[in-house]
């Protein structure tokens, strides 16, 4: 590849400089993305391989990142299982009939990725062809606990009372669905590798809703199962559990992931002390709100972060997704600050 820094960093190999990409880098902060969005709604963009490929490539051209991540959504998996999904501006994703009764669970379909999620795989093929080795392509999926949370709550939540009530009242039903999701997600990620992805990321976005005991029972084992399946695809696997960085050591040990994402609430030097280079690579973790700062301050903050993580076994990123009102020039300043840094 012309630029394989990201892949080498995932494997903790020597790199000339730290690679950088941005979670949600294909998104509303880019005017070029908004121009495509005027032609189609969000789910149409996701389900149209040509449009998904177009916006996937935009940050590579416009921001200069060292990896592309396929434009999609973690909720395409429950949608493929038969749940009706909508994504509305100002509202976000919503399942119109969340899982609330045993019959709801029984109606869920199994998923063959090449059929139910073939549009994502086709978008990956298009992106890989268009990039022609310039930078790697990342595939992704939601982790089982996060998917279950959405499927039961119907939308995002502050308390996750419906999902957590299931753990209390019907733990066997919860475990059954989590195991099923782990298998589906793992197979889906392997299919993404076959279609052209060169690395994979699992987002357990709502793991922070669980206390330690419940995290260890209902989230971590099924995240681990999905990672083990995904690793059979042959590429590096990243796990990101925002809000659960108290468990960094357990996440790394139980999943065997190549890279562990670090959220912005965690000190970079502390993360590296807890997970040394000999064990795993790290990804993160600038607070997305610091991209509201002027470029000189973005540069200063970014260099401080890089000093703390070290020059090897680190992929620079934000500690969460980029915010939609971030000035594109500030995203470029972040990327440039990473790419110029040397210890």
Enumerate the active-site residues. 24, 28, 37, 73, 150
Q: What is the DSSP letter of 26?
A: S
If you count them, how many residues does the chain have?
343
Distance CA 261, CA 263 (A): 7
* Assigned token pair, 247: 């468990």
Residue 72 DSSP SS3: coil
User: Which of 298, 317, 184 lies closest to 259, judged by CA?
Assistant: 317
* Assigned token pair, 199: 């690395």
Alpha helices in 159-286 (DSSP H): 161-169, 171-195, 212-214, 220-231, 248-255, 268-274
CB 138 within 8 A of CB 123: no
């Amino acid at each position: 590849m012309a630029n394989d820094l990201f892949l080498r960093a995932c494997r903790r190999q020597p790199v000339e400089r730290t690679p950088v990409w941005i979670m949600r880098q294909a998104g509303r902060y880019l005017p070029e993305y908004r121009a495509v969005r005027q032609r189609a709604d969000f789910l149409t963009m996701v389900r149209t391989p040509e449009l998904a490929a177009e916006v996937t490539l935009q940050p590579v051209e416009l921001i200069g990142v060292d990896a592309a991540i396929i434009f999609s959504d973690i909720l395409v998996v429950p949608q493929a299982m038969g749940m009706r999904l909508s994504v509305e501006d100002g509202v976000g994703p919503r399942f119109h009939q969340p899982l609330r009764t045993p019959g709801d669970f029984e109606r869920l379909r199994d998923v063959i990725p090449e059929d139910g999620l073939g549009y994502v795989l086709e978008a990956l093929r298009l992106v890989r062809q268009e990039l022609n080795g310039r930078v790697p392509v990342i595939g992704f999926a939601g982790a089982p606990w996060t998917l279950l949370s959405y499927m039961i709550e119907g939308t995002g939540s502050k308390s996750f009372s419906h999902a957590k009530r299931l753990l209390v009242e019907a733990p066997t039903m919860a475990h059954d669905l989590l195991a099923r999701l782990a298998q589906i997600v793992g197979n889906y990620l392997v299919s993404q590798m076959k279609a052209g992805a060169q690395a994979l990321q699992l987002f357990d976005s709502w793991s922070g809703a669980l206390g330690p005991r419940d995290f260890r029972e209902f989230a971590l084992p099924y995240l681990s199962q999905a990672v083990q399946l995904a690793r059979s695809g042959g590429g590096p696997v990243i796990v990101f559990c925002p809000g659960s960085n108290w468990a960094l050591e357990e996440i790394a040990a139980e999943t065997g992931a190549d890279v562990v994402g670090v959220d912005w609430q965690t000190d970079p030097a502390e993360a590296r002390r807890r997970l040394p280079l000999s064990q795993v690579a790290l990804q993160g973790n600038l607070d997305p709100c610091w991209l509201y700062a002027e470029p000189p301050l973005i540069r200063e903050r970014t260099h401080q972060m890089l000093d703390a993580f070290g020059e090897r076994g680190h992929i620079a990123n934000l500690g969460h997704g980029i915010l939609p009102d971030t000035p594109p020039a500030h995203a470029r300043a972040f990327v440039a600050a990473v790419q110029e840094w040397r210890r």
